[in-house]
A = this chain, B = another copy of it.
Amino acid sequence: MTIGIKDVARRAGVSPATVSRVLGHGPVSAELRDRVEAAVRATGYRPNLSARRLRSQHSRTIGLIVSDIRNPFFTALSRAVEDAAYQSDMRVVLCNTDENPEREAMYLRLMQEERITGLIFAPTKATAERLDHTLLDFPVVLVDRAGPPGRHDCVVIDNPLACGALIEHLWEQGYRRIGGIFGNTSSTAVERHEGYRAAMAARGLEADVRFVAPNAEAAEAETARWLRTPGRPEALIGSNGQVLLGMVKALRNAGLGMPDDMGLAGFDNETWTELVGPGLTVVEQPVLDIGRTAMMMLFERLSVPDLQPRKVVLTGRLIVRGSTTRR
């Protein structure tokens, strides 16, 4: 029914091996090459990738497992990874775990079954700790989340530094009672929490935090609760874009304005952060660099498998907007 390499070969008057060489990069005379190319065009032949992968033992596939595809950070990351992959003639299979360790396990199995070349992975804390890349048949680069020190290749931003910058900025604007809402599934949120604590302690300020599932719904509910309790903070920070989104909704529902009723700042320079109220002060992550770097590390690991695990630390950029700038 579908046209195979044999049909093309017959039509071009050559062997299937020659067709294969023309399609790949084997040595073929100009004349045979022309005949084969003509036959491919005439028949509309499309190689069967399953057969090719099976025979060549090379999937030319990068796995990308992210925790929340609704989060624009991961959308942007996936575009960066895909662009880099296609330039190396690889495809990528993208999976979304919803921060759910069971789904992570399922997708790790899938990656094994697809015999992927390498994996870029933003794991939950739980999975990052359990993950043993020696049991996997492919190299892994963690992104956004580092996992236990020295165990995995990873590319992250300097979260303590970024949190320090956030707190310093709020301090300069005169905020003193600064609370924080952090995700409860990622090592990134843990690092940001620690950075927050350190920066507060350095100024003699008291830490005040809540932990939530890192999505807008949970963050909104928690913020609303918090706002109703006495002695609430003068400013809040949120550990990622989705959390921040929920916090904005809660402030709005409570009728609190920024920056005077409440200062607000956090992570991820999503489109809407610029547009809401006086604009939100955020730390922007260099997501394109993160994606590109992850791909490079994967390729390096493939060519030099016995390198030490490496951690690449990039730097976030503080973008100050009206949500924290009192006149």
Chain A residues packing against B (C-beta within 8 Å): 2, 44, 46-51, 53-54, 59, 69-70, 72, 75-76, 78-79, 82, 91, 93-94, 96, 109-110, 112-115, 135, 137, 216, 245, 248-249, 252, 270-272, 274-277
Contact = CB atoms under 8 A, between A and B. Distances in A.
B59 A50 contact: yes
A232 to B, nearest CB: 21
Nearest to A248: B275
A271 B216 contact: yes
24 contacts: A2-B115, A46-B109, A46-B112, A48-B113, A48-B115, A49-B113, A49-B115, A50-B50, A50-B54, A50-B59, A50-B114, A50-B115, A54-B54, A69-B78, A75-B75, A79-B96, A82-B96, A245-B271, A248-B275, A249-B274, A249-B275, A270-B272, A272-B272, A275-B275
A93 B96 contact: no
A238 to B, nearest CB: 14
A91 B114 CA distance: 11
Contacts of A76: 70
Nearest to A103: B86
Contact of A276 (B70, B79, B270, B276): B276
Given A54-B51, A78-B69, A110 B91 contact: yes
A277 B278 CA distance: 9
B53 A2 contact: no
A257 to B, nearest CB: 13
Nearest to A252: B275
Contacts of A277: 275
Given A49-B115, A82-B96, A272-B272, 10 more contacts: A47-B113, A48-B54, A49-B114, A50-B54, A50-B114, A51-B54, A69-B75, A69-B79, A70-B76, A70-B79
A276 B271 contact: no
A284 to B, nearest CB: 16
A57 to B, nearest CB: 9
A53 B49 CA distance: 10
B50 A2 contact: no
Nearest to A82: B96
Nearest to A115: B48
Contact of A46 (B46, B72, B113, B272): B113
Contacts of A44: 135
B137 A2 contact: yes
Contacts of A96: 79, 82
A99 to B, nearest CB: 14
Contacts of A252: 275
Contacts of A110: 91
A115 B51 CA distance: 11
Task: Report which residue of A59, A76, A272 has the largest number of chain B beta carbons within 10 angstroms of its beta carbon.
Answer: A272
